[in-house]
Structure 1
Amino acid sequence: MPVPDSGIIESTPAGARRRPGRPSLSNEELLDKALDLFLEKGFAGTSIDAVCAAAGMAKRTVYARYGDKETLFKAALNRAIEEWLVPVETLRAQETDDLEDTLVRIGTILVENVLSPAGLRLLRLTNAESVSMPEIAMENVRLGTEPTLFYLADLFRLHLGGAERDFAEAEEAAQAFLNLVVGGPASNAAWGKRFEPSTVERHIRFSVRLFLHGVSDRAPPRQERGLTDLLTQAEESVALARARLEQVRRLVELRP
């Protein structure tokens, strides 16, 4: 467990003069320094000594606050995730009377957030380290994905559940929306694919249309073939990402 920052690097006996030096970093600043190193070199390639050197802090101070490298890593990662996540209030502020327009606005915010430099760094780091520390992925879901899913499910109950807001598949629809609209770009970006802004916008609009008309069973006949093709592409993209992840997992298991 983190030890609250006292703002003092070393305790000094009464009456003794303290050596001049850098002021102690706050916990937030220490975690930021640590995260930069973890992002650059990974968990295995980052040492407590390197973190202390980057932070200008005594090793015993870091150990007193976080105990070991894994605890420090998880604290730094959680702080970064909390700062990066889109608050539900931000998503709620995008709502309009038109559900499709609302979903395009929400999808744009979520996809742009995933494809931001901070989003991509976190995505790659969590993907790499989740193999040996699965609790990292679980915490990411708890902090970010679950609140978004709950919000989307309520939104679908409101718009698709009628007067009684009775939409039994609301939670499944929320998960499908994230998988289709956000998951595709996230998976491809994690493997190095770059997207032009026009490509991102086109993906979001097509995916929202596919999702919405598929859920409400009102897809116009002239769009059925195009929407089916898009769904097939999305499924193939997800399957490819899963296959690559399995390859990485097997390589990690084979390492001495």
Structure 2
Amino acid sequence: MNADGSSKKASRAGKGLMPSVAKTARARRSKSHGGRPTKSDAAERDRRLIDVATALFLERGFDATSIDAVAAAARVSKLTLYSQYHDKRGLFGAVLRQEIERWLAPLATAAEMPVSNRSGLSIEKSLVDLGRKLQAVSGEAGAWSVGRILAAQAGNFPELASLANEEGWLKAVVTTAQLFDRLAAKGLLEIADGKIVAEAFLHIVLGHNMRCAMYGIPIDPKGQDKRLRLSIRMLLTGLLPKSQQGYGYPLAAQEIES
């Protein structure tokens, strides 16, 4: 009886300890093996993964970059990568979205800048400053290279081209048009169609540089800035109300000739 009674007591005691033991074991497994990552850990992992994928795509191109290489360099499992992006096309789409978001940031800020009591001079200077910011972001290492990869793969993956057009270019046009529409609403510019003016502005800022980047032609910073300033001056010449035609961001003769 004593033996049986002791055995039953031990069993009951063991059952009482089981939840605590299991909880401790789970905590140890979580600590030693990482467990389920927190939101901040997952976000950091995703940022690292996209940064690594971007670097490899730029270094090797789309075709020569493998999922295995990205997973190994980012220190994540292939299962994690596939569950998140499905395939290499999805991974490149994430890289493309990151580049688009980075490029759109200056436009989003400019679209919300104050526009009241602005003379033609300050409008022109603000647009020149915005153009310089966009050129700086676009000129950073790798920015145009992503565009070249996209151009090469557009025939194979038209959805990536649609992504770049819809989330990149068209969104940039709409965001820039908001700025011009607000200037027009204040009577500071005379605009019939804000989107067309926005497209013209973006072509002025990026068109020449994009062609140079696609063809591997070096960009002359001095010539780039001269082209930007004079082109924006010409754009505004047709948009400023007659009462403000005399205003402008002053360009010295030596600046124009240089």
With normalisation by structure 1, the TM-score equals: 0.66
Q: Work out whether 1:41 is the aligned partner of 2:60.
A: yes
Change in CA separation of 1:83 and 1:110 when aligned onto 2, cut-off 3 Å: closer
Q: Work out whether 1:72 is the aligned partner of 2:91.
A: yes
Change in CA separation of 1:120 and 1:108 when aligned onto 2, cut-off 3 Å: same
Change in CA separation of 1:173 and 1:27 when aligned onto 2, cut-off 3 Å: same
List runs of 5+ in structure 2 lacking aligned partners: 1-24, 38-43, 247-258
- Structure 2 Cα separation of the partners of residues 88 and 155 of structure 1: 9
Once the two structures are superposed, residues 152-195 of structure 1 have per-residue CA deviations (whole angstroms, 9 ceiling, x without a partner) of: 32333344567598733222111112112321222222221222
Q: How many angstroms does 1:208 deviate by?
A: 0.7
Change in CA separation of 1:20 and 1:173 when aligned onto 2, cut-off 3 Å: same
Pairs aligned (count):
208
Structure ranking higher on relative contact order (CA contacts 8 Å, 6+ apart): 2
Q: Where do residues 116-131 of structure 1 align in structure 2 (5 Å cutoff)? A: 116-131=140-155
Poorly superposed stretches of 4+, deviation over 6 Å:
18-25, 217-220
Give the RMSD, CA atoms, in angstroms.
3.5
Q: Where do residues 124-203 of structure 1 align in structure 2 (5 Å cutoff)? A: 124-160=148-184, 163=187, 167-203=191-227
Q: Which amino acid aligns with 2:119?
A: D
Please name the residue that 2:119 is paired with.
97
SS in 2 for 1:26: helix
Q: Which amino acid aligns with 1:47?
A: S
Change in CA separation of 1:33 and 1:163 when aligned onto 2, cut-off 3 Å: closer
Please name the residue that 2:80 is paired with.
61
Once the two structures are superposed, residues 180-232 of structure 1 have per-residue CA deviations (whole angstroms, 9 ceiling, x without a partner) of: 23212222222212223211210101111222224569899xxxxxxxxxxxx
Q: Which is higher, the Rg of structure 1 or of structure 2?
A: 2
Change in CA separation of 1:159 and 1:53 when aligned onto 2, cut-off 3 Å: closer
Change in CA separation of 1:151 and 1:73 when aligned onto 2, cut-off 3 Å: closer
Change in CA separation of 1:78 and 1:158 when aligned onto 2, cut-off 3 Å: closer
Q: How many angstroms does 1:101 deviate by?
A: 1.9
What percent identity do the matched residue pairs reach?
A: 31
Q: Where do residues 213-252 of structure 1 align in structure 2 (5 Å cutoff)? A: 213-215=237-239
Once the two structures are superposed, residues 82-130 of structure 1 have per-residue CA deviations (whole angstroms, 9 ceiling, x without a partner) of: 2343343432448653322222122111122222214223332322222
Match of 2:235 among 196, 211, 215: 211
Change in CA separation of 1:36 and 1:210 when aligned onto 2, cut-off 3 Å: same
Q: How many angstroms does 1:46 deviate by?
A: 1.2
Q: Which amino acid aligns with 1:97?
A: S
